[in-house]
A and B are shown apart, each in its own frame.
Chain A
Amino acid sequence: MSTETAAVHAEHGEHEGMTKKRIVKVFFILLAITCVEFFIALVLVPRYATFAHTWANPIYIVLTLLKAFYIVAFFMHLKFERTSLIFAIIVPILFIIGLILVLTNESHHWIDLRM
């Protein structure tokens, strides 16, 4: 029993902290993603009209989700928690996707109502 707890602690201790090196690394990743967003918004979108109407927004959303992943996984330390806690937090988020689908669909109907 006591060896088991010791083993759990050792395993936990290994992942325990974000080292300073890793914190700085995540910071630069977040900064780089933000810079890419600015590059798209300030350089690509004004120059290429078709790009602005097609790929710009999906790329923004993917980059935003990427930033969210880095903040939640590393800054909020969720990646290093127990799998059960990770699932308890991530699975309910799926309801948000449901709301997005419902209201996107609904908003198309609102357009028809305005005509």
Chain B
Amino acid sequence: MSTAAVSQIDEVKSTPWSGGRSPFDVEYGKMMMWFFLLSDAFTFSSLLISYGALRFSASAWPSAALVFQSVPGLIEHGAPLVFVGLMTFILILSSVTMVLAVEAGHRNSRKEVIGWMIATVIGGFMFLGCQALEWNHLHSEGFWWSTIPNPDILKEFFTKGVPYGAQASSAHQFANLFFTITGFHGFHVFTGVVINIIITINVLLGTYDKRGSYLMIEKVGLYWHFVDLVWVFVFTFFYLV
């Protein structure tokens, strides 16, 4: 490679920002996954910030400790946060198994990848099952999109002394926001599980051994961790605050 004959302007540039190599130094699909997740972060923050704005401006709001105090099928009352704590634990754990699958992928260890991916899929299904129970419980109490429980049940969810008008209007907002936001998150979990299953099948078929790299695990891993990330925020703003 003689550079003497090439004039300075024709010389191939090799620095990151002049086309020599990728400035981000990540594979195309992985970079696009990051940009997609960024746009998804905007969508979720718009939803959560609208929730915040409506809640700030409401004169009363259903108390999380009173609305979410049952473990469906086991405890009817007096166990606030227990069930959602379980859901959070399941999702964090499935994030851990996902990251272990990525780690095994770096070592091209097919068997371990399969094991951890299956564990992640199971975790995803467990979370979806819990969410179905949670939705079913709220629905049985009378909450649904633009539907609220009758006054006798509704007053149980507020601290004492809130007039019925304030209860009804904020309960409507609460119901719509809760089902929309956790529903949108649950939809992400569902698509994540489907994608994880497809990738697991590909691993079983040996697609990534032929390709020579398990980078695909890393890309779906990013999506799966993002789902966990959103849940961290949903959990705080619906169940704790």
Closest B residue to A66 using CB positions = B232
B25 touches which one: A1, A16, A85 (CB < 8 A)? A85
Closest A residue to B17 using CB positions = A84
> Across the interface, do B96 and A23 meet the contact criterion of CB distance under 8 Å?
yes
Residues of A within 8 A of B92 (CB): 27, 30-31, 34
> Across the interface, do B225 and A82 meet the contact criterion of CB distance under 8 Å?
no
Within the complex, what minimum Cβ distance (angstroms) separates B106 from chain A?
5
Within the complex, what minimum Cβ distance (angstroms) separates A24 from chain B?
8
B103 touches which one: A23, A72, A92 (CB < 8 A)? A23
Residues of B within 8 A of A41 (CB): 65, 80-81, 239-240
Q: A42-B80, A92-B38 are in contact. Are A60 and B236 (CB under 8 A)?
A: yes
Question: Which residues of B (1-54) have their CB < 8 Å from a CB of A?
Answer: 14, 16, 23-26, 31, 34, 38, 41-42, 45-46, 49-50, 52-54
Q: A68-B233, A81-B24, A85-B25 are in contact. Are A42 and B81 (CB under 8 A)?
A: yes
> Across the interface, do A68 and B41 meet the contact criterion of CB distance under 8 Å?
no
Question: Which residues of A (68-115) have their CB < 8 Å from a CB of B?
Answer: 68, 71-72, 74-77, 81-82, 84-85, 88-89, 92-93, 95-96, 99-100, 103-104, 106-108, 110-111, 114
**Within 8 Å of chain B (Cβ to Cβ): is A38?**
yes
> Across the interface, do A76 and B222 meet the contact criterion of CB distance under 8 Å?
yes
> Across the interface, do A37 and B240 meet the contact criterion of CB distance under 8 Å?
yes
Question: Which residues of A (4-46) have their CB < 8 Å from a CB of B?
Answer: 4, 8, 12, 16-20, 23-24, 27, 30-31, 34, 37-38, 40-42, 45-46
Residues of B within 8 A of A37 (CB): 236, 240
> Across the interface, do A20 and B95 meet the contact criterion of CB distance under 8 Å?
no
Q: A85-B31, A107-B54 are in contact. Are A19 and B81 (CB under 8 A)?
A: no
Q: A85-B25, A107-B53, A108-B57 are in contact. Are A64 and B233 (CB under 8 A)?
A: yes
Q: A17-B106, A38-B85, A82-B24 are in contact. Are A99 and B54 (CB under 8 A)?
A: no
Residues of A within 8 A of B46 (CB): 99
> Across the interface, do A88 and B24 meet the contact criterion of CB distance under 8 Å?
yes
**Within 8 Å of chain A (Cβ to Cβ): is B154?**
no
Closest A residue to B54 using CB positions = A107
Residues of B within 8 A of A64 (CB): 232-233, 236
Within the complex, what minimum Cβ distance (angstroms) separates A20 from chain B?
6
Closest A residue to B80 using CB positions = A42
**Within 8 Å of chain A (Cβ to Cβ): is B114?**
no
> Across the interface, do A85 and B26 meet the contact criterion of CB distance under 8 Å?
yes
> Across the interface, do A81 and B49 meet the contact criterion of CB distance under 8 Å?
no
Within the complex, what minimum Cβ distance (angstroms) separates A59 from chain B?
10
> Across the interface, do B229 and A68 meet the contact criterion of CB distance under 8 Å?
yes
Interface centre among A30, A40, A42 (most CB of B within 10 A): A30
**Within 8 Å of chain A (Cβ to Cβ): is B241?**
yes
Closest 9 CB pairs of A and B: A110-B57, A107-B56, A107-B53, A103-B53, A107-B57, A85-B24, A64-B236, A96-B45, A75-B225
Q: Provide 7 A-B residue pairs closer than 8 Å at the C-beta atoms, listed in order of the A residue.
A: A30-B92, A34-B88, A82-B25, A84-B23, A96-B41, A100-B52, A103-B52
